[in-house]
Amino acid sequence: MHLKIAICDDDKVVCAQIESMILQYAQESGFDVTIHIFYDGSSLMEGIQNDDNFDLIYLDIEMDGINGVDVGMTIRDKLRDHKMQIVYVSGKGQYDRQLFDVQPLLFIPKPIEESKLVKSINLAREKLALTPKLYHYKKRKEYFSVWVEDIIYFENSGRNVKIMTIDGTDLFVGNIKDIAKEVLPYGFIQISQSIIVNYNFVSKYSREEIILINKEKIAIPKNKRNGVKEQFLRESDKHL
């Protein structure tokens, strides 16, 4: 596997440290890597907008001008890119809730620990190995495909299933049980007999409900709360 990685931090020492760790681990593990370094958010955004897309970005949160929050929100909301994996790097111990709307892969504190950097690379490689993954469905005599990572949730609607994606909604004849078997390995959580949600689009989770990044609320049935909690914790552990 070849990884194309961007490092964006206004501290050149931190950039060099991350680059050195990545190169060493790539050599030890036998995968190819290309690394691009940026010292501010503006130059990173310019590179991305010029079709210089990356598999993985190590992004400093606190930068002058366009900071890591602004970059992440631009990638997700304006460019509509949910494929690039973002790892936030910060000297702070706490993070603004707004950062979670960016769907970061991980948070890594400064000073950088090699073990946590290695974990982030391995997690990114696992996710990239699962993608590109297309979900296929049929409507009448027509066939449609959508990227799995672009699906927000599935909801049973009578004999039909509603599929909500970052681009809108659609309806097709289907079975939630069959859909669950196909998508649960890709980070989806079954909330009830009728709803399956993509973990990456969950903004807030509580025992009673989840709130998606589009502010939509989905209630969790009482008899499903323990099962949903187990699924949610299992997915959360992958991002810690």
d(CA 164, CA 197): 10
Regarding whether 146 and 110 lie in a shared domain, the answer is no
Confidence of residue 131 (pLDDT cuts 50, 70, 90): low
pLDDT at 115 over 90: yes
Residue of higher predicted confidence among 4 and 81: 4
Both 118 and 9 in a single domain?
yes
Q: What is the pLDDT of residues 47-67, one digit of tens each?
A: 888 766 799 999 999 898 898
Residues 170 and 226 in one domain: yes
**181 and 194: one domain?**
yes
- 119: domain CATH number is 3.40.50.2300
In a shared domain, residues 45 and 60 = yes
User: Would you say 61 and 88 are in contact if contact means Cβ atoms under 8 Å apart?
Assistant: yes
Owning domain of residue 190: 134-237
Average pLDDT over every residue of 4-32 = 95
Residue 73 has pLDDT above 80, yes or no: yes
Residue 42's pLDDT band, with cuts at 50, 70 and 90, is: very high
Confidence category of residue 187, pLDDT binned at 50, 70, 90: confident
Look at residues 68, 101, 130 and tell me which one is the last residue of a structural domain.
130
DSSP for 56-101 reads EEEEES--SSS-HHHHHHIIIIIS---SSEEEEEES-SS--GGGGG
pLDDT digits (tens, 9 = 90+) for 205-236: 999 999 998 899 999 999 999 999 999 888 88
Q: Residue 78: phi, psi to the nearest 5? A: -90, -45
Q: Provide the number of structural domains found in the chain.
A: 2
* Whole-angstrom distance, CA of residue 58 vs CA of residue 107: 9
CA 67 – CA 72 distance, rounded (Å):
9
User: Is the model's pLDDT at 133 over the cut of 90?
Assistant: no
Cα 14 from Cα 18, distance rounded (Å): 6
- 21 and 118 together in one domain: yes
Question: Same structural domain for residues 138 and 126?
Answer: no
Of 130, 160, 189, the one marking the end of a domain is: 130
Which one of 85, 100, 130 terminates a domain? 130
- The answer to whether residues 87 and 151 belong to one domain is no
Residue 151 shares a structural domain with residue 196: yes
CATH code where residue 163 lies: 2.40.50.1020
* Lowest model confidence (mean pLDDT) among 78-92, 158-172, 220-234: 78-92
Please tell me whether residues 102 and 141 are part of one structural domain. no
Using alpha carbons, select from 104, 87, 72 the residue that is nearest to residue 18: 87
Considering the domain architecture, whether residues 84 and 141 belong to the same structural domain is answered as: no
Q: 139 with 219, same domain?
A: yes
Rounded CA separation 184/51 (Å): 31
